[in-house]
Each structure stands twice: as C-alpha cells, then as structure tokens.
Amino acid sequence: MMRRFDTDWRNRERKTDMNPIIFRQGICDPHVHVFDGRVYLYATHDSPGYEEGFHMEDWQIWSSEDLIEWKQEAVLRPGDFYCGALDQCWAVDAAYKNGKYYWYFSTGDWGVGVGTADAPTGPFVDALGGPLVDYRTEPRDFPKWDPCVFQDDDGSAYLIVGECRVPAPCDCYFIARLNEDMISLAEPLRRIEYKGNPCKEDKPSIHKYGERYYLTHSSYYAMSDCVYGPYEYMGNTGCNIDHGSYFTYHNQTYFASGGMDNPNRYLRASYLAPCHYRADGSIVIDQKIMEYGCGQYDAAWERIEAEWYFSASRECKTELPDGGFAVELKKGEMLCFPNIANVEYHTQMQFCGSSLIQGKAAVIEIRQDNEEGELLGTCEVGSVDSFEKTDKKTDKKTDKKTDIFCCELCCGQGTRNLCFCAKAPVLLDWFSFDNGKKKSTAEPVYSFVGRGAARVFDPDASCHRVLGNMELKGASFHGLLDGGAGGHGELVIPYYCSEDEVELELYVNDTYQRSLVFPVNGRASLGRASSELRVPVEVKPGVNKICVQSGRYQYGKLAIDHLTLYTEKSCCQVYSAANGALTPMGNGCWDGLPQRESDYFAFSGRVVKYLENPGDAVTIAKVNGGAGGQYVLEVRYSRGEAGSSAYELEVNGEIQTLLPFKSTGDFSMRNAHTIAVPVNLPAGTENYICLRKSGNADKGIFVDSFAINPNTFSFGENDNEREE
C-alpha cells in the first residue's frame, strides 16, 4: 500500500527551511543554551491575532540537535508561579549550576522571578514565591525586566536586567553577581557604564569571547575588559531588529535574535546566524546565511563560505587580509556541512584555498556524513605562496594567497551531508559545485503554493519539504527563478508519484508552455535517487515566474521537491535585496528603520521593507561586472501608497540617477512592478549597488531584487517601468 502524504506535519517535531526558525508561531526573544550536547531555546510567545499590542500568555522551551528541526519541549504558564495569570510574559533566560537548572522570567515590566528544575525542560518550580528583583529593588521605581544570566569562566554568575529609556541617573542597564544558590543577589544592583550607546532600549545580554566581554542589545554591541564595564560601543551586526543573545555549538558561534514576522509586528519570530570575530573584537555576520538559516546549504549557491560550517574539530576561523574569513585546518581535523540541497550526480566541486605547507599539496577527503563516512572524493589543494600579481586588465597589484582547485564528487543527487577531512594543514576560503551551467532553484517553502497543494515533511527533500497533493485540480506551485542572460534553458523537476500518471500545466511568465506528464514510478517517498523530469524552456533575463499547476481532477498522487532552472553561465544574475546590507541598522519598524520579512511572492522568499526616511538604503555587494561594460539594472519592487517615491541609485559610491518608483497598488510582491535603468559596471566581482531614499519621507517601497541584465534588455514602449 502506498504511504499517504503526512500533511499533519505541524504535529511532528517542527522543521523549518530558512530564518525565522519556527515560522508564524510567535516564538521570540530567544535565549539559547547548550546542555548535554543539545540546543535549548528559551523564548517568549506572542499570541496570534493581536494587532494593537502584545498579548503574551505563556513562555516556551524548544530544543534541537541540527538547528533545523525544533521540538516543543514545554509550555510554562504564569499561573504556576508567584505572579499568577497575566498576559505580559516577557523575556526569559536559563542557566545550569550545581546539578540544577535555573529559569529566569519577566512578569511584564514589574520584576524578574526564578524557577528551578532537574532537567533543562523542567518542570520548573517557583524557587522564591516572589520576585528575585522588581521595581522595589534598589534603585527603586526603575524597571528591571528581560533578564540575562551570564556565567564567567570561573563559575561566577551575574544577573543583567533593565533598559535605557528612563530618566537619568538610571538610563542604563544593571548588573549584580548572584550567590552560589543562583536565586539570590550577592551584591546590590549596580549601573553598567555604557559609552556611546546609539540606541537606548531594553533586553541587554552579556557574553564572553576570548578575554573580551560583550554587552549586546538588538543588533548593537559594546565591549569591555571587565564584566562590570565600562563598555564602549563597537558596532552593529545589522542582522536583527529585536533582542538577541549568543551561544556556541559544535565550535561555531551563533547569534540568536528576535525579529518581525508577518502578518504584523505583534507576531514576532526567532532567527539564527553564525557570527565571526575580528582581531579587534568586532563581530561580523554574513547577510546571506542570516537570511537562509543555519545547518543547511544549497549547491546552487555561487559559493558556500568555509566559515559557515555546522561543526568543526575546533574553532578554526581566521581573518583574511581583505576583511573576509576562512578556516585553517590542521592535519586530521574536519569541517561538516550537513543538508546541502540540490547536489547533482557526480558533480564537480571547487575548493578555494591553499596548502599551509610551502611547495606541497594538502589532500582533502570529502566523506558522507562524518569523518568515518563513505569516501566520496578527494581534492589536492596546492601551495599558493603570498606574492604580488599584476592584473592585466586593471593594472592593479594584488596579494594572492588562495587559488581554486577542482575535484569530482562521486555521489547520488539530492541532499547530502558532507564532511571535509584534512590530511595535511590547509586554508579553506570557500567551496562550490559547478557543472558548467548556471543553476537557480525555487523551493516550496519559499514560494507561493495554491489550491490544496501542501508543504509536506520528507526527510530526503532538499529543504525537508516536498509539495504534495499536486494532482488535485487547481493545485499550483509558483516559483521565481533567475534566468541569467535569458534565452534557452532547461527546467528540472524532481518528483515521485504512485499508481497513475499525473499531468501538470507549465507556465513561464504567465504564458502557457506545455503539458508535463509524470509517469508512474511507484515511489512512496522521495528517497536518495528520485526520478526527475527535464523540459526545455525559453526564459527572459532576470526574474522569471514559473508555474506548474493541475488543471483537472486526477487519480494519481504527485509530490514535487523543487524547481531548478539551468541556463548558460553569465555574469548576468539576480541579487536578492534581503541578502544586502540595510542602512541604518537597528530595531526595524519599532524605530522606523528598514527591515526584512517573509513574502512568498519575493524572489528569495524575503523582502526588504520600510525604506521610508531620507538616507534609508539597501546595498548589494560583490556584484559581478563580468568583463565590464554597460548592463541594464532591473529593480523589482512594490509600493502601496499613492504617488511616487524617489530614490538615488549609486554604483560603486557614485550617484547614477534619481529613480521615481510609482504606486503598484499595495505592498505585496504579488503585484510587483519592475523599473529598469542602464548602468556601467567595471570588470570583476567587487562592484556594489546602493538604492538610497531621497526627497521627503513617505511609506517608501518594498524591494525584492536587483537583476543585472544584458544591455540588449528591452525597456518597454513608454518608459522604464512595467507591471509584471
């Protein structure tokens, strides 16, 4: 008997496929700890359905081993503690000491309580029958909420509470050392001196990296040589808009942050991203991996940075002279990258790096799952001495320390867990999968699906979901794919089905192309070696809308893993706005600043919102100019306010033109428009494009993507703007 698709996946252990990690359930204000090799998320919970304020009736604990699959472990209710029932269950934290687990919780802005348990998931028992600190604790009548408990290397524990939006002298955060019992203060709360704080807000957190202490709030961070301070403002990671904490797992350090989630600001979510530390103490978070989440990768990406590893033998990151990061592996050490989606049969791999033994190559073994897994291939990484090299095109001298080395990976297609084992000391910058074609994928979890199609859990799917029920009349999958320079392409659809064949209709940019017949293959699950359908298509440059849908009642059972579009390699490509850097950085819509949110009709499933005030900007780095010359830049956007909104277009720091973005009728990418302008790009991949708000403040635009198209791209009949 064929297995029915598991459409009730919400009752399973939760999986997600991009940030936020737990989608549309209001799990926010994350504090994350690793206990006994498992990750535990201690969170607040925004009740859905409220649009005029927060309604928070409980706290929740979730756990994970892979940072993708999250299991709800406990719901903690205020009625079980001294505060009694309330709808202001604010932020929490947890700690472990002396064989006990401690859970610290906020009761609105009134105070902080503490519970104890024998397990990280509870059940927690009220330890005091009253608050640990509240508005009556000295200094009196000032708020003390959103606790953080920091444990130093010597075992000392500290409570950090408060916010900065109150009158002096208490416009600050407070800290006090805890007694050994972890439920009482060993000293009075003291003011934390914070020099140069640019954003006075709540939810402070302290963590330590090396010998430095970091005071963080939202995406801002300050640094000190002493836990008590003084702290001096250092910078902003630009990667969240609400609360934040740091933790280390498998020798990778992560930033856990809160953020907005649709449909409104009162249903927040939690995000994770690996972070890197420079020698001067500054923190760097890559925008791309922040958008796509942790513990999962895609072979279709142009490159996967080595420092994005999920696990390593030790913390092995190193800062490069150009400001980037790489990893240094000693002989016998390894890096693991699980859940690499869309790996092809016997694919080519490229490693950018260098042997660390002069004149001798370093061998990297690529193994399945772990260092003892099946050997899939080997790559010899040569020695690249540091030397000055003159670029013939630019006449510039560069200091070359890495090169690109290729090998073949002998494996089946699909999602693979890869482990890189160093047989000699080696420096790795990045790796990629390149079979000579440009590849763009659309996953059901990022895309709009319609009329009965269901995102179904499948452990072998590229993003842990297939799209089931595709045989139902009207079921559809709408993917946005990168057509590169346009022209001939090939659409690939991995699938499985049951007793009867299923037929779908294929549309490209809203035009019917052909029928797609999926023959019987008798599969009950996707499996490691699924069937696939390949069809030729004609695509335009830039973003292409590709839809497959069922036009009639059918009796088979069909599920689709994803859509992949292959085109000729070109420097022309689409850049997601959500992968760009936002200016200014901070607390998003709370402070009237730009932010990112989910949108199924966006190219990457995420869109940049609220570029409303003069100076607000989104910047795309590492834009490929190929051999250099003129291209057409196409910006995909939406605008719900009447009239137009003006933006300056900058290329490599120089203003090119002023763009008036017209109203599209609403702020959803469902009704996106595009605007196209000519741009000149120098050769190489170090260009950057910036779209900056000018003129008067208004509701601005939501930006989806920037496409670099060939200079033969059509502008349309009347102007440079069109409705899709």
Question: If DSSP codes are grouped into helix, strand and coil, which group holds residue 577?
Answer: helix
Cβ–Cβ < 8 Å for 297, 341: yes
Cβ–Cβ < 8 Å for 618, 691: yes
Give the single-character DSSP code of 88: B
Cα of 700 vs its chain's centroid, Å: 24
Give buried/exposed letters for 309-324 (b at 16+ CB in 10 A, else e). Answer: bbbbbeebbebeeeee
pLDDT at 15: 38
Q: What angle do CA 491, 492, 493 make, to 5 degrees?
A: 120
Closest CA to 29 of 204, 175, 262, 215: 204
- Tell me the per-residue pLDDT of 92-138, one tens digit each, with 9 for 90 and over: 999 999 999 999 999 988 899 999 999 999 999 999 999 999 989 99
Peptide bond into 584 cis (omega under 30): yes
DSSP 362-378: EEEEEEESSTTS-EEEE
Cβ–Cβ < 8 Å for 175, 228: yes
Give buried/exposed letters for 476-510 (b at 16+ CB in 10 A, else e). Answer: bbbbbbbbbbbeebebbbbbbbbeebbebbbbbee
Instruction: Tabulate helix, strand, coil % of the chain (nearest 5).
Output: 5, 50, 45
H or E element at residue 290:
helix 287-292
Cα(329)–Cα(415) distance, rounded to whole angstroms?
25
> 216-221: long-range contacts (C-beta < 8 A, 24 or more apart)?
216/244, 216/245, 216/246, 217/243, 217/244, 218/242, 218/243, 218/244, 218/257, 218/586, 218/587, 219/244, 219/257, 219/585, 219/586, 220/586, 221/283
Longest dimension (CA), the chain: 75
Ordered by where they begin, the domains of the chain are 18-292 (2.115.10.20), 297-437 (2.60.120.260), 443-568 (2.60.120.260), 574-723 (2.60.120.260)
Closest CA to 585 of 323, 215, 239, 245: 239
Cα(501)–Cα(519) distance, rounded to whole angstroms?
5
Cβ–Cβ < 8 Å for 597, 262: yes
HSE, side-chain direction, 13 A CA sphere, residue 627: 2
Closest CA to 191 of 239, 228, 152, 150: 228
Going by their DSSP bridges, the two strands 311-312 and 476-482 should be labelled as unpaired
Name the H helices within 373-530: none
Closest CA to 46 of 90, 109, 98: 90
Going by their DSSP bridges, the two strands 334-343 and 414-422 should be labelled as antiparallel
Cβ–Cβ < 8 Å for 113, 143: no
Which residue ranges in the chain fall short of pLDDT 70? 1-18, 169-170, 240-241, 262-263, 385-400, 498-499, 522-530, 587-591, 713-723
Query: Could you tell me the pTM of the whole model?
Result: 0.88
Cβ–Cβ < 8 Å for 30, 40: no
Enumerate helices (H) and strands (E) in the chain, giving the number of each: 1, 62
Q: How far apart are the first and last CA of the chain?
A: 45
Joined together, the tokens standing for residue 395 give 């006449």
Closest CA to 691 of 601, 590, 614, 600: 614
Give the single-character DSSP code of 683: S
pLDDT at 436: 83
Joined together, the tokens standing for residue 92 give 């929490």
Cβ–Cβ < 8 Å for 56, 81: no
Joined together, the tokens standing for residue 66 give 């892979």
Cβ–Cβ < 8 Å for 208, 152: yes
Cβ–Cβ < 8 Å for 563, 493: yes
**Secondary structure in 3-state letters for 291-320:** HHCCCCEECCCCCEEHHHCCEECCCCEEEC
Alpha-carbon dihedral sign for residues 233, 235, 238, 239: negative
What lies within 8 Å, CB to CB, of 407 at 6+ separation is 348, 349, 351, 366, 377, 378, 379, 380
Going by their DSSP bridges, the two strands 687-693 and 645-651 should be labelled as antiparallel
Cβ–Cβ < 8 Å for 81, 126: yes
Q: What is the CA radius of gyration of the chain?
A: 26
- Tell me the per-residue pLDDT of 228-287, one tens digit each, with 9 for 90 and over: 999 999 998 877 667 888 999 999 999 998 877 766 778 888 989 999 999 999 999 987
Going by their DSSP bridges, the two strands 133-134 and 111-117 should be labelled as antiparallel
